[in-house]
């Protein structure tokens, strides 16, 4: 394998169901219901959440898909940028809150 990620692979997602099509179909049904319909949240809001998650998880397939989905549901660059700042802020917060664990360990070792 010469490289790990290829944009063309996104279109081949369904091939993952090759050895268990039933599970894969149930996943797609669930996925499309959750992300692709206006329910309590609009498709636009869901796309912005998904874009943020895609960045937090650093999934290039999802960043590709949800950047377009955000544009196609009417979001603008400012809103999309704010969404990934929320992801970044959450990531930062999740790292920093573990500083309390660091303090706890330091206390256990008499260093704090």
Partner 1 sequence: MEMVAEKSGVLAVSREDRRRYDFYGSLEQHNLNLAPAGIATLQMNITKLCNQACLHCHVDASPKRTEMMSRRTLEKCLEILGAYPEIKNLDITGGAPELHPDFEALVTRARQLDKHVMVRHNLTVTFDGNPQTGEPKTYLPEFFAARQIEVISSLPYYQEFFTDKQRGRGVFNKSIASMRLLNTQGYGRDGTGLLLNLVYNPVGAFLPASQAGLEADFKRELAARFGLFFNHLYTITNMPIHRFKAQLQRLGSYEAYMDKLLAAFNPEAARGVMCRSLLSVGYDGRIYDCDFNQMLEMQICNGKPMTVFDFDWADLQRRSIRFAAHCYGCTAGAGSSCGGATAS
- # residues contacting partner 1 (CB under 8 A): 10
Residues with Cβ < 8 Å from 48, sequence gap 6 or more?
70, 75, 79, 80, 83
Q: How far is the CB of 49 from partner 1 (least distance, A)?
A: 17
Q: How deeply is 54 buried, as exposed, middle or buried, from its count of CB atoms within 10 A (0-12, 13-18, 19+)?
A: buried
Closer residue to partner 1 (CB): 34 or 68: 68
Q: Which of residues 64-83 bind partner 1 (CB under 8 A)?
A: 68, 71-74, 76-78
Positions in the binding site for partner 1 (CB under 8 A): 42, 44, 68, 71-74, 76-78
């Amino acid at each position: 394998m010469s490289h790990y990620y290829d944009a063309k692979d996104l279109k081949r997602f369904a091939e993952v169901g090759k050895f268990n099509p039933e599970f894969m179909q149930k996943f797609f049904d669930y996925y499309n219901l959750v992300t692709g319909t206006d329910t309590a949240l609009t498709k636009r809001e869901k796309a912005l959440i998904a874009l943020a998650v895609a960045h937090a998880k650093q999934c290039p397939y999802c960043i590709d898909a949800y950047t377009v989905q955000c544009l196609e549901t009417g979001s603008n660059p400012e809103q999309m940028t704010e969404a990934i700042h929320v992801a970044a802020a959450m990531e930062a917060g999740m790292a920093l809150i573990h500083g309390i664990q660091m303090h706890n360990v330091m206390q256990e070792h008499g260093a704090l």
